[in-house]
A and B are shown apart, each in its own frame.
Chain A
Amino acid sequence: MPDLAYFAFLVADGALAGSIYALVALAFVVVYKASRMLNFAVGEWTMLGARTAAAASHTFGLGLGGAVAVGCAGVVALALVFNRIVLRPLLQSSLLSLIMLTLGVGILLRGAATVVFAGIPGRIASPFPLDPLVVGGVPLSVDKIVAAAIATACIAALSWFFHGSRTGLALRAVASDQQVALAVGIDLHRHYAITWALVGVLSVLAGTLWSFVSGGGFGIELLGFKVFPIVILGGLDSLPGTIIGAFAVGILESLVAGYVDPIVGGGFSHVASYLVLIATLFVRPWGLFGRPDVERV
């Protein structure tokens, strides 16, 4: 492949992966915005999403759409129960204990998934053709294109939801200041529940899409580690920043994997995004699009 086409291939491939990263990162950011809680179990939730959809597909013989729908119903229900039974009583406790809790939940989900889904294939077979589509001399896998298209549509829907709907406006108010949200009559518990329902849906979508493109084998829960460089780079509390950060990290990983990994012997692409994370923390700790607090008093 000529140099330029190879570069274009790497960028496109990275962007396609980035679109799925964006879904996972959004699941992380909506929780952070609503409750300032860092959900370190976001990778495990994504894994759970993928496996629930896969289980629905294999045990009920459902097609892709049906499996995702059943998967969503299941994971959303679990997320709501988790929010109601575990998080709600802990609402007054320190953020640190909530964060520790998410680490525990991650381990629990990982362990429980191996037991509950024992013997059930972990992924849905991709319904899309295996031959890559060649666009301008750049070969792109159909799986990834479809996954990216779905991911992008979800991102667009989510952006509309946050900026165009009444509930979205309320969620942003909760994110901005809980006391004020209360004072204007927003039921916080209800909106935390909506947030966790969103996490459930995003987990199933991101997990299922990732299981198409990664070809299985790769532990989906590791996807959670991609989230940190993304949200630090984009700005923890910025939805557009998160999306841009996700694409940036996807493309960066792909370029590093294409150009640097062959030289240093592989694996450096996973490190590269963390180097970016550290650099961001030094230079612009609030991220590219997050804002340091603006307030005039």
Chain B
Amino acid sequence: MLEVEDLHVSYGRIRAVQGVSLSVPEAAVVALIGANGAGKSTLLRAISGIVRPRRGAVRFRGENLVGLPVHQIVRRRVIHVPEGRGMLARMTVLENLRIGGFARRDGPSTAAGLERVFALFPVLEHRAGQLAGTLSGGEQQMLAIGRAMMAGPRLLMLDEPSLGLAPLVVREIFRIIPRLTAEGTAVLLVEQNARMALQCAAHAYVLQTGQVVLSGRGADLLATPEIQRAYLGTGEAS
């Protein structure tokens, strides 16, 4: 469904992404792992149109997204949950969710969307009237994902959803991913928590200094010695 072909992204003279190709099949979970600065977030930003690639193509259901403005890409229901969650801190939880459905004029009503989100994250319903900035980190991450769900995503890109969260909360968040794919949403997951990501991903890519150095089935990568050493902190010490 999503095909990234030979994508190059630069910030000035810094080449953040250098010729990455990857694909995300329909309703699949694909993980992107790698160290800080490997270009993972930049890749997501290029797919969602926030930064413009220098070269290469991003094909979504056959259409090249490169050059489209961000809101046009959102209208194609390619939804990006940025790192740091991007709360509208001074707006209520409910308003944050409503705004998530902004680009969606067709499809199910806002009420149906809210019902779905509240079913997955009951805590958001209890906090509906509260300012988003006052939520805990885990609740904010749930709100960020809930807001993305309001757009009815075909492709959901999650950037570091586990960042700064307690392990129990991380598990709570990851519990959602299979439910999303069951409803037909594909997930492109960027994570530093490689173990968590590889466990739930059908396919994974390892990024290093802007290039794909390794890819394969999530479970296979989990068992690879280099991965264990570099990203999982098991195996022999380096």
Q: List residues of chain A with CB under 8 Å of any chain B CB.
A: 166, 169-170, 172-173, 176-177, 179-187, 291, 293-297
16 intermolecular pairs with C-beta atoms under 8 Å apart = A170-B102, A172-B88, A173-B88, A177-B89, A180-B87, A181-B99, A184-B103, A185-B74, A185-B103, A185-B151, A186-B102, A187-B69, A291-B90, A295-B87, A296-B134, A296-B140
Which residue of chain A has the shortest Cβ distance to B147 in the bound complex?
Answer: A184
Q: Enumerate chain A residues within 8 angstroms of B61, measured Cβ to Cβ.
A: none
* A297, B71: Cα distance in complex, Å: 28
Q: Enumerate chain A residues within 8 angstroms of B151, measured Cβ to Cβ.
A: 184-185
* A169, B103: Cα distance in complex, Å: 12
4 other A-B residue contacts (CB within 8 Å) besides A293-B133, A296-B134: A166-B102, A181-B99, A187-B71, A295-B89
Q: Is the CB of A176 within 8 A of B91?
A: yes
**With contacts A179-B82, A291-B90 known, is A296 near B133, CB below 8 A?**
yes
Chain A-chain B contacts (Cβ-Cβ < 8 Å), number: 81
Q: Is the CB of B88 within 8 A of A176?
A: yes
Nearest-neighbour CB distance to chain B for A162, whole angstroms, equals: 11
Q: Does B86 contact A (CB under 8 A)?
A: yes
Q: Is the CB of A176 within 8 A of B102?
A: no
Q: Is the CB of A177 within 8 A of B133?
A: no
Mask, B61-81, CB within 8 Å of A = 1, is 000000001110011000111
Interface residues on B, range: 20 to 34
Which residue of chain A has the shortest Cβ distance to B135 in the bound complex?
Answer: A296
Which residue of chain B has the shortest Cβ distance to A297 in the bound complex?
Answer: B137
Nearest-neighbour CB distance to chain B for A161, whole angstroms, equals: 15
Q: Is the CB of A179 within 8 A of B99?
A: no
Nearest-neighbour CB distance to chain A for B89, whole angstroms, equals: 5
Which residue of chain A has the shortest Cβ distance to B105 in the bound complex?
Answer: A166
Q: Is the CB of B133 within 8 A of A295?
A: yes
* A196, B205: Cα distance in complex, Å: 46
Question: Which of A177, A180, A184 neighbours the largest number of chain B CB atoms within 10 Å of its CB?
Answer: A184
Q: Enumerate chain B residues within 8 angstroms of A184, measured Cβ to Cβ.
A: 74, 99-100, 102-103, 147, 151
* A239, B95: Cα distance in complex, Å: 17
